[in-house]
Amino acid sequence: MATIITAGNLTRLAGELMKAGCRVIAPAKLDGMVVFKAITDEHEMLPEGEYILPHSSFKEFVFPRTECILRYRLGEQGKVSYEATNLDAEPAQAAIGCRPCDAASLPILDKVFGWDYRDEFYFKRREKLTVVSIACSRAGERCYCTSVGCAPDSKAGSDILLKKTAGDKYVVEALSDKGRQLAEKHASLFEKAEGEPPVEVVDLKPAFDVEKIKPWLDTHFEDPLWLDMAARCMGCGTCAYGCPTCHCFDIVDEGDLRGGCRLKNWDTCAAVLFTKHGSGHNPRTSQEQRYRQRVMHKFKYYLEKFGLRACVGCGRCSNRCPVGQDLYAVLKTIAERAAK
C-alpha cells in the first residue's frame, strides 16, 4: 500500500495550511526568478514541473538575512533596559515543494547552530518548520548532489518526501512525526494506492570521488593551485547568501543615544572585513585565501567537527557567481589531482 497525493491536492494542502494560520513557503515567481516565498495564495505556488531548483535556498525562513535579536533602551544615568526578541508567537511554517538538497541542508545547519551554544533564534523557527520536499525527476546543469554524497531522493531533513509517479501524482513518504501528523491532519487530501507505483527519480552519476577531497585538503593548505582556482573570485556574498548551508553571521548594534536593536546579519568569509581584527591585522590577505576557506570549511573542517560536509551539491554557488567561479570545477580538479 502506498500513499498518494495529486498535484491539485498538494496545492489544496498549501491552501488548508494557510487557512490554519501556517506560513507556507513555496517556490513562486518574482519577476523572472523562481524563489522561495511566503505565499499568500496557494496558486502562487508553482507546479513542480516548472522549476528545478528555486533561485535561493529557504534558509531565510530559519536563518533570516537580518534579524533583530534584542531591543535596548538607554535610560537615565546609564541605565540599560532590554527586551529579547520572543519568537514563541511566530506561526508554524511549512516548506512545500522544496528539493531534497534544500531539505538536507537543515540537519547540517542544526549541527552548527546547536553545538556549544544553542541558537534559539534558529531552533525556534526550525522547530516550527515542516518540510515537504519533492524528489527530482530532472536535474539542472549544475546539480551535483550525488557527487558530494547527497541524492535527488535524499531523505535527510524532509518530514515528507514526495516522489513523482504517473498522472501528475506523487507517492508520499512520511519520514518523521511532524510529517505523519501533517498527513493525518489533512488526510482527506491523500489517497491510497495498491502496491508500489513506479516513481521517477533522476539518475545522476557522481562526477568525482568526494572521498578524495578531504585527504587532499588535509595536506594542501598551501598550494599554488589555489591561486589558479580562486584568483577570479572577487569577494562578494552571492555564493554564501544563496547557499543553503552557509551559516556565518555578524552581530551589530543599530541605534543611538536613546537605544536601538541588536541584529544578527548574514556574513560571508569572502568579504575582506570578515577576518579583519580590531588591531587592523587581517590573517586572510588575499582573495584566494578567502576562497580556500570556503572550500576548507565545507569539505574539511565541518567534516572533522560534525561528521558532515557543509555542501549538498545544489550548485547555487556556481550558478549565481557573477564571475563564473565554479565550486564543482574546483572540486573536480582537486579530486583529479588527488587521484594522481
Partner 1 sequence: MYLKRDEVLKRGKVGLVVKGCDARAVTGLIQESQVARERLVLIGMACDGVGEPLLDMCKHCDVHTPAGPGADAHRLACDYVSGKATVADAKPEDEGWLDDVRKIEALMPPERWAFWQEKLSRCIRCYACRQVCPLCYCKRCLVEKNEPQWISSSAHEAGNFAWNIIRAMHLAGRCIGCGACERACPQDIPLTLLNKKMAESVARHFKYRAGYDPTAAPAVKAFDKADENDFFR
Partner 2 sequence: MEHKEQKDQVSAQRVWQPKVIAFVCNWCTYAGADLAGTSRIKYDANIRVIRLPCTGRIDPLFVIKAFEQGADGVLVSGCHPGDCHYNTGNYHARRRWTLFRELLEFVGIDLRRVQFAWVSAAEGAKWAEVVNEMVQHVRELGPFEGYHVMLARSGRDAWLEKAAAGGGNGSGKGVAGGTPAVQKAE
Would you say 210 or 233 has its CB closer to partner 1?
233
By CB under 8 A, is residue 250 in contact with partner 1?
yes
Q: Which of 34, 38, 46, 68: binder of partner 2 (CB under 8 A)?
A: 68
Q: Which does 259 bind (CB under 5 to 8 A by kind): partner 2, partner 1, ligand SF4, none?
A: partner 2
Q: Which of 77/219 has CB closer to partner 2? A: 77
Write the interaction track for ligand SF4 spanning residues 193-232; mark x where CB under 6 A is met and - where it is not: ----------------------------------------
Report the site for ligand SF4 in 233-272 (rule: CB under 6 A): 233-236, 238-239, 242-245, 270
Residue list 253-272, contact with partner 2 (CB under 8 A)? 254-261, 263
Using the contact rule CB under 8 A, the part of the chain among 72-80, 98-106, 124-132, 267-275 near partner 1 is 267-275
Secondary structure, 3-state, the chain = CEEEEEHHHHHHHHHHHHHCCCEEEEEEEECCEEEEEECCCHHHCCCHHHCCCCCCCHHHHCCCCEEEEEEEEECHHHCEEEEECCCCCCCCEEEEEECHHHHHHHHHHHHHHCCCCCCHHHHHHHHCEEEEEECCCCCCCCCCHHHHCCCCCCCCCCCEEEEEECCCEEEEEECCHHHHHHHHHCHHHCEEECCCCCCECCCCCCCCCHHHHHHHHHHCCCCHHHHHHHCCCCCCCHHHHHCCCCCCEEEEEEECCCEEEEEEEECCCCCHHHHCCCCCCCCCCCHHHHHHHHHHHHHHHHHHHHCCCCCCCCCHHHHHCCCCCCHHHHHHHHHHHHHC
Binding residues for partner 1, rule: CB under 8 A, are: 30-33, 55-56, 65-66, 231-232, 234-238, 240-242, 250, 252, 254, 263, 265-266, 268, 271-273, 286-287, 320, 322-323
